[in-house]
Structure 1
Amino acid sequence: MKYPNLFQPCQLGSLMLKNRLVMSPMTMNYATEEGLATDKLIHYYVERAKGGVGLIVVEGTFFTAEGRGYRNQLGLVSEEHVKRLRQLTDMVHRLNNDVKIFIQIHHAGGRANSKVTGLRPVAPSDLPAYPGAEVPRSLTREEVRDLIEAHIEAAIRAREAGFDGVDIHSAHGYLIPSFLSPLSNRRSDEYGGDLSGRSRFLLEVVHGIKKRLGKDFPLTIKVSGDEFIEGGLGLEEMTQVALLSQEAGIDAIMVSAGSVGAKKLGDLNEPHKILRTLPMMTGHGCLVPLAAHMKQALRIPVITVGRINHPALAEEIIVQGKADLVAMGRPLLADPYLPQKASEGKEDWIRPCIACNEGCYKRIFEQLDIQCSVNPLLGREKEAFPEPEVRGKKIFVVGAGPAGLEAAHAAWERGHRVSVIERSKDLGGQLNLASIPPGRKEIEAFKTFLLNRLKRTEVKVVMGRKAVGSFIKRGRPDGVILATGAQPRSQHIPGVEKIRTMTAWEILSGEKEPEGVCLVLGAGLVGCETADHLGERGMRVILVEVLPEIAAGADADTKTYFNMRFKEKGVEVYTGTELLGMERELAVLKQGSEKIRVQIGTLVFAVGAEPNDGLYDELVRAGIKVVKVGDCVKPRGILEAVREGFEAGRNV
């Protein structure tokens, strides 16, 4: 077996885990509005259990009305909740593959939203969780004790539902960590003051659960090893909390990081301390040092988590003694069978998480259900798909980007005879450009996966084909999936003929070389990435955006990242600004009522893209059945391209 240390058993309290891989809790928003487990949610977890992980920790689950964080969050309040969750645990245990399943109990505290709960949030003190958040109501001493009891009763219901153990969410600025932190806990009673007082709430919850359920019922906590915020808890204090919790009876601790609030100025050059969703711009295993520090002080198993997406890294962590177990979250969204494939030495078969956060974090913050950019089957594990064809059709897929490659594989799996036709000499489409800017290298792993998977099929690949329409008509396919992508837009600017111009795509591909000061017109995602790319090369860059902010539509961490990078690289950003025209080498900008003139050497267009779908009408007129997917429908992202390609391939 490959990775022998990762796949050796580990004792956690009274349980023996079959390996050291843990599925970390992630809110999926797959439950009903009442918080009941749906078939969609149940089968999502069962699929991960089939994949070979040692322990599943089911997502943060609300147990009081005011503690709910998300509209479709899983609940553990009533007998009906218990009944539905029992279906989940029964299905997992019936697999007989020795996977264990815990559930995380979660109270959002001051981070709860009255638009979701209909109730004012509660917290240790009446301080907003972060600037702009609702001001919570300070809990009375009696309410504090009621909430301690509510945690205990939730754990009892969890055992009734068949879970093998319980995790208490004590991280990321929710209720329990807001008691722990001096930043959010200004109480003067026994639940405030020094660290001992601020830890009392958590410790009484732990004591209460152990007293009612017995010392043999496994209990873990998840903490932020460092909150990475000004005035928040640091690693040394959190290690003291961990020691107190160990003495109170917890059986293991999962060490995450981060909270909500103002970041420390000294951390601005370390992305993982600023970007709390740990996107692809952060380093692999960036939180491991926190777990390693705690492991030196604790007797109980320590679980590390955060940007660990490859079994080789997980094995290294175990071998070096930095943690006892390794938790993965997003990588198991991307591929539930990662553990099984890793143990068999089939790393090339693992569909890689690229930490883009487009389908997970971005959607959860919008109160939407979780999807995955690279896995079109996430959340659809129960769906029935068309049976394989007995007599396969002849299918042409035009375009070898993510949509086309996903479509080709899905069609081949159904038993069709598939050919991929690519006009250029490179496979991968937009993935080739998307992986070039700083911090985006992770995208290349997905392209590598797609190409390796293609080699394991009987799909025929035709490259460098120019007269595609004629070629297709001569081939007389039964159907065509058009995945021809998009092409960059330009914009008419008066006087532009007097200056060197090019598109962002031409810059990133190396097709054209900029000179002098570069003005990048458009600060969407592509414009920001291009400005970052040029800044990294040491060029002076001016970024102009007509909207009031850069990276409109991107998640908050992506915007923060670009602002950090532009400050570091000296990129000059003009928002709410128009480019009126060129006066020889002077770009005339208008910001409000003010006109600004700047001398430039190159004008770079990053003003969007338009579908490259000219082939569609030609093929339809020839009587060929055609389905469009990906950017040739509408320019969007990897998530939409992959899902549409998969759908087309499965249903062709």
Structure 2
Amino acid sequence: MNSPYPHLFAPLDLGFTTLKNRILMGSMHTLLEDMPDGFRKSAAFFAERARADVALMVTGGFAPNDEGRLSEGSSVFNRADQVADHRLITAAVHAADSKILLQILHGGRYSRHGALVAPSPVRAQINKLAPRAMTEADIERTIEDFARCAALAREAGYDGVEIMGSEGYLLTQFLVPRTNQRDDAWGGSLHNRQRFALEVVRRTRERVGADFILMYRLSVLDLLPDGADWAEIVATARALQGAGVTLFNTGVGWHEARVPTIAHMVPRGAFTFAAARLRGELSVPLIASNRINNPAQAEAVLARGEADMVSMARPFLADPQFVRKAREGRADEINTCIACNQACLDVIFRDQLCGCMVNPRACRETEPLPAPVRTPQRLAVVGGGPAGLAFATGAAQRGHHVTVYEAAAQLGGQFNLAKAVPGKGDYAETIRYYARQLELLGAAVRLNHRVAAQELITAGYDAVVLASGVRARRPDIAGIDHPLVLDYAELLTGQRPVGQRVAIIGGGGIGLDVAEYLAHAEPNQDPARPDIDAFLQMWGVDRQLGARGGLLPEPVAVPSARTLYLCQRSDGLPGRGAGMTTVWAHRLTLQKRGVQVLTGVEYARIDDAGLHLLVQGEPRLLAVDNVVICAGQEPQQALFAALQAAGMAVHLIGGAREAGELNAVRAIAEGTQLAATLG
């Protein structure tokens, strides 16, 4: 059978070994390796992806010594008695005919423990702790620690190592003057600043031999004002190639950079241009990364000659079967990563186990799969939003007979609102995935059908699952029913037009989304055809790579298409309740677009003149054309009492159970869990 993605599924010859396709599952911090019984759980995690034909994968980062740990409890691989644990992982991956690398990561000044070290005692903006400057003895010992870690990896059965030289970790810190202020043989000139990375690679290659993959993750865009310039990046890559690198993986942005690189507002493939340019300078294979999330896009990157492989990490949280589905021409069945960050990065930075919004099973592969039911039940699902879709899919997979009732003309619920927001178009992928699963499973879907309690009672279902979602809450403000007022759902579904001057009541996550929507003259953009140039210009990224760190001297101005006021009762920054790894980018976006943020607000009334406020106690009139309400939600539970009174088994999930902040992670998890246990 001819592959629909011939470049993606072509083998890659590395000389001493061959990769069966061009897909790398990049490194992710999952915290599995730091848990009790973590290596057995990690082995199951990697094996499930390996069985689905991933050619090459990389573990989470292991420090080569105690100083390099990211935190007190982070994993270190520096002793022979640890080899047996790692063999659990390599044996499981090799049994599934895949290859795996150990990532060696030294946190440097990003480490969050008392013994952190760096080239110079320069504190990172994202770390409260300042590092100690490494002595020459520290440097020599650390180089040896990298090489010893790689040798232990070989003994443990790994096919190679990835040396983490990107994202602002220790090796990157040696390369740029902002973090390397040394005046000895390890600092000053580029030759001296490169020396640490080169010695790590040389020593490692000497220790592991020629027939062992040595992948180096190189920062191709630091996205910092004083980062490396392009000539330095090329020179460093060439020197590393000569020192023994088998292939290069590319990284974009230090963790302290103020440019989003992997969140949903980043267009697909926004940074492959840098990988493409570096590829022409090298003779070893190069891998493109960042916001590549579907096989057609990955195929296009390879077909254009921008890279020799593509790296995808979180897409394998969303769907372990990604590669097999692509190879078999079933891309429409892939559960696509939507780069929401909510169950992966947001929880990792709180030192909690990684997960995935759209795949609650991610990182929990040792838990038993739901068993097929012995006696199928007839189940009604009221509401085709995330919770209802997750339940309906899971229940149908177990063998239940499922009917989904959706009052709207399409499935999706709140995700239909989310996908209308610029930068969130990928939310449509989750709707597509569930709709396709329900089609394959033979579940009945009734759209444009606002089902009544009596209809459900008469139909005699064994159980009813109410996933009827939420409605926008209308706060108690004089004039709240004035014609110029609309709620966020009316806005995002296009039911009501808005004027050029708009006040937004509510500064939480929905308020930020509405401000972003209103700031665009034409907000709806197909994520498959992203405007990468507009994104790069807005965030000041130099596509020509002429400036240090890949940043323009001044970002291109991107004024809002409307005059916007974002109002919130509380003091402090807007975005309470939004994801911790993305909210800073949302706030910067509002700032760049000139959205006026008003805090400490009391709402007086709404009338023909506009919105009357007290701002920090001072009266103010916002003479606006419209007021958009983003002041929370209320659950829709209208059917619950009638169904219970009729003696029916009825379950509430998602927003219908608890509105609060819109929480799709909880909604999908609740739907999945109920499907696994009902009947």
Question: TM-score, normalised to structure 2's length?
Answer: 0.90
Question: Aligned match of 1:220 in 196, 215, 223?
Answer: 215
Structure 2 residue identity aligned to 1:108? G
**What is the deviation of 1:228?**
0.9
Match of 2:300 in 1: 316
Match of 1:305 in 2: 289
User: Contact 1:225–1:234 (CA<8 Å) still a contact in 2?
Assistant: no
CA separation in 2, counterparts of 1:149 and 1:395? Answer: 62
Is 1:633 aligned to 2:634, yes or no? no
Match of 1:130 in 2: 125
TM-aligned CA distance change 1:424 to 1:2, over 3 Å: closer
User: Contact 1:9–1:16 (CA<8 Å) still a contact in 2?
Assistant: yes
TM-aligned CA distance change 1:421 to 1:342, over 3 Å: same
TM-aligned CA distance change 1:417 to 1:557, over 3 Å: closer
CA-to-aligned-CA distance 1:400-419 (integer Å, 9 cap, x gap): 11111111111111111111
Match of 2:435 in 1: 451
CA-to-aligned-CA distance 1:408-440 (integer Å, 9 cap, x gap): 111111111111122333321111111111111
Range with bigger deviation, 465-474 or 553-562: 553-562
Match of 1:4 in 2: 6
TM-aligned CA distance change 1:176 to 1:582, over 3 Å: same
Question: Aligned match of 1:275 in 260, 274, 279?
Answer: 260
User: Contact 1:479–1:626 (CA<8 Å) still a contact in 2?
Assistant: yes
TM-aligned CA distance change 1:378 to 1:177, over 3 Å: same
TM-aligned CA distance change 1:166 to 1:467, over 3 Å: closer
TM-aligned CA distance change 1:312 to 1:465, over 3 Å: closer
TM-aligned CA distance change 1:138 to 1:344, over 3 Å: same
**What is the deviation of 1:488?**
0.8
* Equivalent position SS for 1:383: coil
Match of 2:536 in 1: none
CA separation in 2, counterparts of 1:71 and 1:607? Answer: 40
Match of 2:540 in 1: none
Match of 1:296 in 2: 280
**What is the deviation of 1:351?**
0.8
Match of 1:530 in 2: 514
User: Contact 1:578–1:590 (CA<8 Å) still a contact in 2?
Assistant: yes
| Corresponding pairs, count | 634
**What is the deviation of 1:161?**
1.2
CA-to-aligned-CA distance 1:105-141 (integer Å, 9 cap, x gap): 0111100112xxxx23210000012266421111111
Question: Aligned match of 2:578 in 519, 535, 554?
Answer: 554
CA separation in 2, counterparts of 1:262 and 1:291? Answer: 19
CA separation in 2, counterparts of 1:516 and 1:299? Answer: 54
Match of 2:59 in 1: 58
CA separation in 2, counterparts of 1:244 and 1:49? Answer: 33
CA separation in 2, counterparts of 1:391 and 1:497? Answer: 51
CA separation in 2, counterparts of 1:169 and 1:63? Answer: 11
User: Contact 1:12–1:251 (CA<8 Å) still a contact in 2?
Assistant: yes
Is 1:232 aligned to 2:227, yes or no? yes
Match of 1:245 in 2: 240
Match of 1:544 in 2: 567
**What is the deviation of 1:522?**
0.3
Match of 1:93 in 2: 94
User: Contact 1:75–1:81 (CA<8 Å) still a contact in 2?
Assistant: no
Structure 2 residue identity aligned to 1:51? A
Is 1:650 aligned to 2:676, yes or no? yes
C-alpha RMSD over aligned residues: 1.9
Structure 2 residue identity aligned to 1:617? A
Is 1:15 aligned to 2:17, yes or no? yes
**What is the deviation of 1:299?**
0.8
Structure 2 residue identity aligned to 1:324? D
TM-aligned CA distance change 1:498 to 1:474, over 3 Å: closer
CA-to-aligned-CA distance 1:588-612 (integer Å, 9 cap, x gap): 3333343332222322110010211
Structure 1 residue identity aligned to 2:109? G
Structure 2 residue identity aligned to 1:275? P
User: Contact 1:37–1:74 (CA<8 Å) still a contact in 2?
Assistant: no
User: Contact 2:575–2:587 (CA<8 Å) still a contact in 1?
Assistant: no
CA separation in 1, counterparts of 2:594 and 2:204? Answer: 54
CA separation in 2, counterparts of 1:77 and 1:611? Answer: 53
Is 1:40 aligned to 2:41, yes or no? yes
Match of 2:165 in 1: 170
Question: Aligned match of 1:481 in 456, 459, 465?
Answer: 465
**What is the deviation of 1:568?**
4.3
* Equivalent position SS for 1:31: helix
**What is the deviation of 1:337?**
1.3
* Equivalent position SS for 1:178: helix
**What is the deviation of 1:45?**
0.9
**What is the deviation of 1:236?**
2.4
**What is the deviation of 1:249?**
0.8
* Equivalent position SS for 1:236: helix
**What is the deviation of 1:391?**
2.5
CA separation in 1, counterparts of 2:443 and 2:608? Answer: 52
Range with bigger deviation, 489-498 or 577-586: 577-586
CA separation in 2, counterparts of 1:223 and 1:579? Answer: 52
CA separation in 2, counterparts of 1:144 and 1:406? Answer: 51
Structure 1 residue identity aligned to 2:415? L
Is 1:112 aligned to 2:111, yes or no? yes
Question: TM-score, normalised to structure 1's length?
Answer: 0.93
* Equivalent position SS for 1:437: coil
User: Contact 2:39–2:86 (CA<8 Å) still a contact in 1?
Assistant: no
CA-to-aligned-CA distance 1:159-211 (integer Å, 9 cap, x gap): 12110101100011111110111110001111111111111111111111111
Match of 1:27 in 2: 29
CA separation in 1, counterparts of 2:642 and 2:72? Answer: 46
Question: Aligned match of 1:588 in 591, 602, 612?
Answer: 612
User: Contact 2:315–2:336 (CA<8 Å) still a contact in 1?
Assistant: yes
> Which ranges in structure 1 are unaligned for 5 or more consecutive residues?
264-273
**What is the deviation of 1:84?**
1.4
Is 1:563 aligned to 2:563, yes or no? no
TM-aligned CA distance change 1:148 to 1:86, over 3 Å: same
TM-aligned CA distance change 1:499 to 1:76, over 3 Å: same
CA separation in 1, counterparts of 2:617 and 2:115? Answer: 43
CA separation in 2, counterparts of 1:442 and 1:180? Answer: 36
Match of 2:50 in 1: 49
CA separation in 2, counterparts of 1:531 and 1:64? Answer: 46
Structure 1 residue identity aligned to 2:254? S
Match of 1:268 in 2: none
* Equivalent position SS for 1:177: helix
Range with bigger deviation, 565-574 or 60-69: 565-574
TM-aligned CA distance change 1:324 to 1:408, over 3 Å: same
Question: Aligned match of 1:203 in 198, 205, 211?
Answer: 198
User: Contact 1:395–1:416 (CA<8 Å) still a contact in 2?
Assistant: yes
**What is the deviation of 1:499?**
5.9
Is 1:514 aligned to 2:514, yes or no? no
Structure 2 residue identity aligned to 1:545? Q
Match of 1:269 in 2: none
Question: Aligned match of 1:601 in 616, 622, 625?
Answer: 625
CA separation in 2, counterparts of 1:339 and 1:209? Answer: 31
Structure 1 residue identity aligned to 2:32? Y
TM-aligned CA distance change 1:554 to 1:79, over 3 Å: farther
Structure 1 residue identity aligned to 2:666? E
CA separation in 2, counterparts of 1:628 and 1:78? Answer: 51
**What is the deviation of 1:497?**
5.1
**What is the deviation of 1:462?**
2.6
CA separation in 1, counterparts of 2:313 and 2:126? Answer: 28
User: Contact 2:501–2:624 (CA<8 Å) still a contact in 1?
Assistant: yes
Structure 2 residue identity aligned to 1:65? D
User: Contact 1:401–1:431 (CA<8 Å) still a contact in 2?
Assistant: yes
Structure 2 residue identity aligned to 1:296? G
Match of 1:398 in 2: 382
